[in-house]
Structures are given as structure tokens and as C-alpha cells.
Amino acid sequence: QVQVVESGGGLVQAGGSLRLSCAASGSTFVMNVMGWYRQPPGKQRELVAVISSGGVTNYADSVKGRFTISRDNGKNTVYLQMNSLKPDDTAVYYCKAARIPYDYWGQGTQVTVSS
């Protein structure tokens, strides 16, 4: 049974930085894709950034140039470095690990950016 656990959320002032981490445990296989999604208050969940096992990345336009996703395949771990944070980045951030045909989600970690 694959478990996905996020860490690193918290409260930060606008312009600050946070680093999120996510580990997928319980699988001997490398996850095909790992990534981050977020759900702002009162809104739908949206993609933030994803990265393939080969290192190909995709970012939401709203975070390009500010956020950087990276991963450690050997540990099935993905990171999200968030710089120049804005109040609009406030959301619950969810990690997803995908091993075709399955998706595994974490419980989420709160990121709050104060103005």
C-alpha cells in the first residue's frame, strides 16, 4: 500500500519562501510522475507543478519563475521550492504520486501567505 506524506507547510509573509517535501512510501517502483496541486479557499483544486521520472517538468503559469519542483527518484520524494510567495498562493497543497494506472494522494499541507 502506497502512502504519500507531505511536510513543510506553514505561515509566511508575502515575499518569503517555503519548501515543501513529499515522500511516497510502500512501493519498490519509481513513480512515473510526482507533483503538487493546491486548493485555495472556496476554489477547485489546481495543478501547481509536476515532474516525470525523467525530469520533465510542467508548471502552472501563475507560479513560473517563482516555484521550482525537483525529485529524488531513489527515494520517491518530490520537493517544491516556493519563492516570492504571494497571498494568492494561500491554499492547501497536495502531493500526488502516479504509477500507471494508479494515483496516490497525500492529505495536504496548509500554506498561508500573509500580506
76: left (phi over 0), alpha (psi -120 to 50) or beta: left
CA angle 53, 9, 46 (to 5 degrees): 60
In this structure, are strands 10-13 and 109-114 parallel, antiparallel, or unpaired?
parallel
The predicted pLDDT at position 28 comes to: 82
- Mean pLDDT score of the chain, rounded to an integer? 96
**How confident is the model over 46-57, as a mean pLDDT?**
97
Bridge partners for 105 per DSSP: 96
- For 53-75, what is each residue's pLDDT tens digit? 999 999 999 999 999 999 999 99
Query: What is the percent of the chain with per-residue pLDDT over 70, rounded to a whole number?
Result: 100
Which residues, at least 6 apart from 74, have a Cβ–Cβ distance to it below 8 Å?
Answer: none
- For 71-88, what is each residue's pLDDT tens digit? 999 999 999 999 999 999
